[in-house]
Structure 1
Amino acid sequence: MPPATPDPTEVIEAWIPHDARWHAQARRHAHRGSDHLRNYVTELVRDHRDGHIPITDDWDLRTLKAVVEDLRWGGLGDVDWRRVARVLTDPGFV
C-alpha cells in the first residue's frame, strides 16, 4: 500500500506556519482574513513574490517548487484557507 499523501491544506499547514522566511507576513495576512492569506501564499507559490518583492534566491525558489510538488494534483485551489488561517492565528489549534 503506498504511503498516504497529505492533502493540499495539510501541505500548507505544515509549511507556512514553520517557515521563518514568510511566517510573520503570513500571520499578518491571516489576521486580516483567509482571503488575504490565500492571496499572499498564492503570490509566493505561483508568482514568486513576497508582496511587491520578487523572490529570486535559489534556495527560496527550490522551497516553493517543493511546495508545488507536495500539493500534487490538488493545488492551492483545494486548500481550506480558513483552517490554515486559524492555525496561524491560534497556535493551539491543530
Structure 2
Amino acid sequence: MDIILQGQHNAEETVKSLERVLQLFRERYHVEGFREIHLTVTLLDEQGDEVELIDSESNQAYRVFEVYRKGYELAGRKGIPMLQLVVDNTPK
C-alpha cells in the first residue's frame, strides 16, 4: 500500500500526517503493526529548493537511508524495539 501526502509539508506536518494515517489504520481497520515501510521523499531546504544529503567522504548523494531494529526481528524477541541509525552524516 502506498501512502501519499500531496503537496509540500514541513517536518512537523509530515510527522503529524503520518501519525494520523497510521492511527486511522489502527482504530478503524484494526491494523496492529507494519512489517516494512518505504518512504520516498523529496528533501527541501528553507527556501523550498530541492536538496540532497551528500556523503562527505565519497561526495556521493545518499539514495537510501535505512533504519534497522536492533536485535529485535532477527532474534524474534518480544519487547520494545530499539531503532539504530545506519548512516549518520550529521556534522559533529
| Same fold by TM-score greater than 0.5 | no
- The structure with the greater share of residues assigned to strand is 2
Bigger RCO (CA 8 Å, 6+ sep): 1
How does the TM-score come out when normalised to structure 2? 0.29
- The structure with the greater share of residues assigned to helix is 1
Which of the pair has more CA radius of gyration? 2
